[in-house]
Amino acid sequence: MILVNNSWGESNEKGLKAALGANSIPNAGVEKFEANDVDVVPQLTRLKAAGADVLFLVGNVGPSAIVVKSLDRMGWNVPIVSHWGPAGGRFSELAGPSASKVHFIQTYSFSGKLSPKGAAVFDALKKKYPEIKSAADVTPAVGIANAYDATHLVAIAINKAKSIEGPKVRTAMYEIDKYEGLIKTYNKPFTPKNHDALGADDYIFTHFKDGEILPLVN
Amino acid sequence: MLVIPAIITGLGLGSMYGLIALGFHITYSVSNTVNFSQGSSMMLGAVLGYIFTIRYGVPVPLAILLSLTCCALFGLVVERVLVRPFAERGSNAWLMATVAGGIVLDNVVLFTYGKEPRSFPSPLASKPVEIFGTGVYPLQLIIPLVGLGAAFALHFISRKTKLGKALPATVQNPDAAQLMGINVRLVIAISFMISTALAGMAGLLIAPLFNIHSDMGTLFGIKAFAVAILGGITSAWGVMLAGLAYGLIEAFVTTFLGSVYTQIVTFSLVIVVLAILPNGIFGREAVKKV
């Protein structure tokens, strides 16, 4: 594991250790970096010496790029599975050609063939923010898509409840039947036992290619 | 296997700390004040280098010259607005004023340059060359040479030139120095300009290895000040060598003890060294001639 040295990195360390432990997979080591580190070769050298054969990376776009550049300098070609942090900026520009080696999860990408809803949202974004020229300029795409759908779901619930009181809105959320969102069409997204409208099937592994986030295909 | 990468990383980082710390040395030597926005000056050099070359396509040598000139002008503003008004009244408020000046600059850059980190590609930091089995970017070899060259130049000026010998007089007795024909205010202003230009040079050098953003200099500024004190702020060589030592210790601690211990060990070491040697490793207690 190569993780940012803060509470975010700490929580991911616990989660990853638990997941690895549940599958009886030992970890070679856990290394931390500071958000403003220029060079993480010493940390990566320790992991390589400990026999790591894959890296779990947790960090924002800038530090993640430094990890990739440090791997390039070492000449260590190792698979990298990452938190979606690199999607929060211009990862291809910062990390260079090796950016595409980092695989991370997303719920949505504005690249490729878009649904009518996706095309409409993308056009609206370009109209409101002229600096957006291509899908590569929509950062972080997953954050925008999640926020877009979440805002609409809450709005539907408020309309149903005709109130903004928490308990009433919550009850109204359970009554949402169908909403055609950006990420997917939500059918009965919330129940008293399920407060997460996105499930395991809604996540895809992606990588950067020429500045755009594309799904991984075997 | 582990030692060579640690040395390469340590020397690269250490010379950056040393280069910024030299700025502290210069202003302290002529005015007994320092500019705590040195980290922001470093960021300014990198950001301006990016803007001139990438956004406006200015040729690199000219972009470097323009960036360093702007950094020097920032140093002039720092001295005129944030240091001189307080220092001349015998107040130490310049300390907080320069910290505040750095924060203001960071935020001005955040609003104008943008919040997204950007890349400053360079052919000197794209393909590593192999030295003792370790990949090294050519720029990582150039940075220590620039740092040592700057330390040598400052040492030479202070020890071998008439100007260098006259500079301590501006600290010891500004009135007498003025009577002897030394323009004290100008000398101090120039020292601040050189100090921020050095930090800007550090920013330009590190930009291709790092990500350019508005708070990239914060931690560098803090570490550089620790280095300046550790080396003995009155000695250019001391400051540079302390920078290299600090970088090497950081890299060795990370490599052999683990990254979670890096900051604890290095900053604890600074405290221990200063407890034993209050004037730093190479510094001397000020001698006032009467």
**More confident call, A142 vs B163:** A142
Q: Which residue of chain A has the CA closest to B119?
A: A94
N-to-C CA span, chain B = 56
Dig out the tokens for A166 from the structure.
Answer: 């928490």
| Count of positions (residues) in chain B | 290
Looking at residue B286, its pLDDT comes to 61
Cβ within 8 Å, pair A36-B258: no
If you compute the radius of gyration of chain A from its CA atoms, what whole number of angstroms results?
Answer: 20
The whole-angstrom separation of Cα B167 and Cα B261 is 41
* pLDDT tens for each residue of A119-176: 999 999 999 999 898 888 888 888 899 999 999 999 999 999 999 999 999 999 999 9
Nearest-neighbour CA in chain A from B212: distance (Å): 9
The whole-angstrom separation of Cα B254 and Cα B265 is 10
Positive or negative, the CA dihedral B226, B231, B235, B239 is negative
Looking at residue A209, its pLDDT comes to 85
The whole-angstrom separation of Cα B195 and Cα B172 is 20
Region A107-118 average pLDDT: 88
B204 in A contact zone (CB under 8 Å): no
Looking at residue B165, its pLDDT comes to 75
Complex ipTM: 0.83
Residue B94, classified by CB atoms within 10 Å of its CB into exposed (0-12), middle (13-18) or buried (19+), is buried
Share of chain A above pLDDT 90, in %: 71
Cβ within 8 Å, pair B117-A36: no
B220 in A contact zone (CB under 8 Å): yes
Whole-number Cα distances in Å, A203 to A105, A183, A197, A218, B117? 6, 10, 12, 16, 27
Residue B273 has pLDDT above 60, yes or no: yes
Nearest-neighbour CA in chain B from A92: distance (Å): 10
